[in-house]
C-alpha cells in the first residue's frame, strides 16, 4: 500500500521518556518501565490516506491500514470491524439528550465484542514476528477472541482467566479447542502470572509482550465512529473502562484523524464508565487526582471490567481531563437497568459492560456533564448473550399456557388489553 516503500509504522516508543525501540515483542521501556507505543510516520501517512481511499476499501477495520502497526497485509481477522453506528432516538428521548448514537460492537465479528479488533492486530503481528503459540490474560471477551482467531489462523493458544467467569465466556473459549486455564484469584493475579510466563517462555501474549500492537486495534472503533458520522468527531463519547486502554485509544484515534487531515479539529470530550465494585479510575477522577488506587478484591457483575490495577488508568484520566470529560460509576442494580434501557429502547442486547456504559451515560447527562442539547456516542463493547446470568430473573418471566386459543384469550390477551386500557 505504501508506494514509496517508506514504512508508515516505524518504531515502538516509550510513552514516558520517548526512547525508541525496534518493532519486536516487547512492551515496556527498559529504563523507566513506561509503556511502549507504536510510533508512525504521520507525514508519510498524510500523503497516502484520504477519505476517498478509505471509502474505496472493504468495510472492515483494516480500511484504516496506514494507522495500524503491522508491516504487511493483515493475516488474522481480515473481516473484523465496521460495526453499525446506530442513531438511538428512543433511548435519546428516555435519557433526555438531543442526539444519541450507539457504536454497536455487540455484533463485531467473529466473537461479538470489541476485542476482535485488538486481537486481529495482535495476532497478525504475532505471525509477522514468527510466534507459534499465542496467549492472553483475560476477563472473558479477549479469551473468546484469541481462541477463535487463533483457531482460524492455525495458531496454538492458551487463554488464562479468573476461575469465576460467566459460563458463556468459558464455553465461548473452550469451543475453539483452545487451552483454557482458570486461575484461582482475581484478574490482576492472572495478569501478573501471564507477565511471569511471558517473561519465561517464548509465547506471544497479546496483552503482555504484544500489547503495543494489540492496544492500537482499539483505535479503529474511534476511526469508524468518525467516518460513520460523516467524517467528524462526535462532541461526546462514553466508553467503559477496565484497563482504561479503549478510552485512551479512542482519544488517540480522534487526534490522529485530525493529524493526518481526515477530519477537522473540533472540540470533543471522552467520558469513562466503571462499575462501583471496581472503579479505581472513576474514583481517582472524582477525587481529582491521577493516582489510581488499586482495588484488591473487585466485586461487580461487570466481570469484564473487573480490573483492580488498571494498566492505562493514568493515561485514561489524563485523556478525560484534557478533553473536559467526566467519569461515573454505577452499582449492580444500575447496570441491570442500563442493560434493559438499551434493550428496550434501542433493541440492542449488551453484556454487563454495556449496562455500565448506558447507566453512566445516564448519570453524566443528568448531572449536566454531558449537556442535554448536545450529542453523545456510547461505545457498547460486548454481546448480552455472553453474560446472561447477570439479568436472569430480572427482566420478566416466561408466561406458560397450553396450545389453546381460549387459554390465550383468558390468560394473555384479555388481561393485557385491560391493563393497556387502564394505563391510557
Q: At what angle do helices 245-259 and 313-322 cross, to 10 degrees?
A: 50
Neighbours of 18 (CB within 10 A): 10
Of the candidates 173, 309, 357, 381, which one interacts with other proteins according to CB under 8 A?
309
Smallest gap from Cβ 307 to other proteins, in A, equals 6
| Alpha-carbon distances, residue 202 vs 21, 75, 126, 192, 326 (angstroms) | 19, 21, 11, 16, 40
Of the candidates 154, 288, 296, 393, which one interacts with other proteins according to CB under 8 A?
296
Look up residue 180 and give its three cell numbers. Answer: 483454557
244 near other proteins, rule: CB under 8 A: yes
Strand locations in 105-259 (E): 133-137, 156-162, 179-183, 204-205, 236-240
217 near other proteins, rule: CB under 8 A: no
Specify the stretch interacting with other proteins by CB under 8 A; choose among 50-58, 169-177, 304-312, 387-395.
Answer: 304-312
279 near other proteins, rule: CB under 8 A: no
DSSP letter string, 354-378: HHHHHHHHHHHHHTTSS-TTSEEEE
Residue where the block lists cell 469465576: 164
Of the candidates 74, 310, 326, 355, which one interacts with other proteins according to CB under 8 A?
310
Of the candidates 134, 194, 221, 342, which one interacts with other proteins according to CB under 8 A?
194
314 near other proteins, rule: CB under 8 A: yes
Site string for other proteins, 29-68 (x = CB under 8 A): xxxxxxx---------------------------------
Smallest gap from Cβ 314 to other proteins, in A, equals 7
- What is the H or E stretch that residue 14 is in? strand 9-14
168 or 308: CB nearest other proteins: 308
Specify the stretch interacting with other proteins by CB under 8 A; choose among 51-59, 229-237, 307-315, 393-401.
Answer: 307-315
200 near other proteins, rule: CB under 8 A: yes
Phi, psi angle pair for 159, to nearest 5°: -120, 130
Distance between CA atoms of residues 66 and 261, nearest Å = 13
200 or 402: CB nearest other proteins: 200
371 near other proteins, rule: CB under 8 A: no
138 or 228: CB nearest other proteins: 138
Smallest gap from Cβ 311 to other proteins, in A, equals 5
Look up residue 144 and give its three cell numbers. Answer: 473468546
217 or 234: CB nearest other proteins: 217
- Say how many residues touch other proteins, by CB under 8 A: 42
Specify the stretch interacting with other proteins by CB under 8 A; choose among 69-77, 80-88, 181-189, 348-356.
Answer: 181-189
Q: Which of residues 108-167 bind other proteins (CB under 8 A)?
A: 137
12 or 348: CB nearest other proteins: 12
16 or 374: CB nearest other proteins: 16
Neighbours of 157 (CB within 10 A): 26
Phi, psi angle pair for 160, to nearest 5°: -110, 125
Check residue 400 and report its DSSP letter.
P
Smallest gap from Cβ 98 to other proteins, in A, equals 33
Range 19-27, long-range pairs (CB < 8 A, 24+ positions): 23/69, 23/71, 24/129, 25/126, 25/129, 25/131, 25/204, 25/209, 25/210, 26/209, 26/212, 27/208, 27/209, 27/210, 27/211, 27/212
196 or 344: CB nearest other proteins: 196
74 or 186: CB nearest other proteins: 186
Distance between CA atoms of residues 60 and 48, nearest Å = 18
Q: At what angle do helices 332-346 and 352-366 cross, to 10 degrees?
A: 90
Of the candidates 2, 26, 181, 331, which one interacts with other proteins according to CB under 8 A?
26
Of the candidates 120, 149, 207, 387, which one interacts with other proteins according to CB under 8 A?
207
First-to-final CA distance of the chain:
62
Specify the stretch interacting with other proteins by CB under 8 A; choose among 124-132, 306-314, 322-330, 381-389.
Answer: 306-314
* Pairing mode of beta strands 85-87, 99-104: antiparallel
Q: What does the binding site for other proteins look like in residue numbers (CB under 8 A)?
A: 16, 26-35, 137, 185, 187-192, 194-196, 198-200, 205, 207-209, 211, 242-245, 294, 296, 307, 309-312, 314
Amino acid at each position: 500500500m505504501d508506494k514509496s516503500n517508506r514504512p508508515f509504522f516505524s518504531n515502538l516508543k516509550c510513552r514516558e521518556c520517548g526512547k525508541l525501540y525496534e518493532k519486536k515483542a516487547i512492551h515496556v521501556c527498559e529504563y523507566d518501565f513506561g509503556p511502549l507505543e507504536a510510533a508512525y510516520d504521520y507525514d508519510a501517512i498524510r500523503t497516502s490516506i484520504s477519505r476517498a481511499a478509505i471509502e474505496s476499501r472493504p468495510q472492515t477495520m483494516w480500511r484504516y491500514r496506514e494507522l495500524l502497526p503491522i508491516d504487511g497485509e493483515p493475516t488474522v481477522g481480515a473481516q473484523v470491524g465496521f460495526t453499525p453506528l446506530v442513531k438511538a432516538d428512543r433511548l435519546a428521548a428516555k435519557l433526555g439528550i438531543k442526539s444519541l448514537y450507539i457504536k454497536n460492537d455487540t455484533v463485531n465479528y467473529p466473537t461479538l465484542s470489541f476485542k476482535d479488533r485488538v486481537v486481529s492486530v495482535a495476532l497478525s503481528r504475532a505471525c509477522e514476528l514468527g510466534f507459534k503459540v499465542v496467549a492472553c490474560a483475560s476477563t472473558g471477551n479477549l479469551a473468546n477472541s484469541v481462541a477463535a482467531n487463533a483457531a482460524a489462523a492455525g495458531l496454538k493458544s492458551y487463554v488464562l482467566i479468573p476461575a469465576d467467569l460467566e459460563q458463556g465466556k468459558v464455553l465461548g473459549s473452550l469451543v475453539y479447542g483452545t487451552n483454557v486455564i482458570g486461575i484461582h484469584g482475581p484478574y490482576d493475579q492472572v495478569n501478573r502470572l501471564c507477565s511471569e510466563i511471558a517473561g519465561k517462555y517464548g509465547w506471544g501474549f497479546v496483552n503482555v509482550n504484544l500489547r503495543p500492537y494489540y492496544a492500537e486495534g482499539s483505535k479503529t472503533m474511534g476511526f469508524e465512529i468518525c467516518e460513520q458520522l460523516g467524517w467528524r468527531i462526535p462532541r461526546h463519547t462514553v466508553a467503559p473502562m477496565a484497563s482504561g486502554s479503549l478510552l485512551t485509544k479512542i482519544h488517540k484515534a480522534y487526534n490522529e484523524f485530525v493529524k493526518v487531515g481526515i477530519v477537522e479539529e473540533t472540540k470533543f470530550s471522552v467520558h469513562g464508565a466503571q462499575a462501583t465494585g471496581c472503579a479505581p479510575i472513576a474514583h481517582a477522577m472524582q477525587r481529582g487526582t491521577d493516582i489510581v488506587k488499586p482495588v484488591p478484591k473487585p466485586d461487580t457483575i461487570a466481570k469484564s471490567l473487573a480490573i483492580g490495577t488498571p494498566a492505562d488508568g493514568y493515561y485514561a484520566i489524563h485523556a478525560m481531563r484534557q478533553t473536559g470529560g467526566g467519569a461515573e460509576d454505577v452499582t449492580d442494580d444500575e447496570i441491570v437497568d442500563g442493560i434493559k434501557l438499551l434493550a428496550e429502547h434501542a433493541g440492542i442486547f449488551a453484556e454487563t459492560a454495556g449496562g455500565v456504559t448506558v447507566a453512566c451515560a445516564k448519570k453524566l447527562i443528568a448531572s449536566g456533564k454531558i449537556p442535554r442539547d448536545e450529542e453523545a456516542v456510547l461505545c457498547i463493547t460486548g454481546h448480552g448473550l455472553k453474560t446472561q446470568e447477570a439479568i436472569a430473573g430480572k427482566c420478566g418471566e416466561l408466561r406458560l399456557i397450553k396450545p389453546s386459543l381460549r387459554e390465550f384469550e383468558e390468560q394473555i390477551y384479555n388481561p393485557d388489553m385491560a391493563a393497556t386500557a387502564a394505563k391510557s
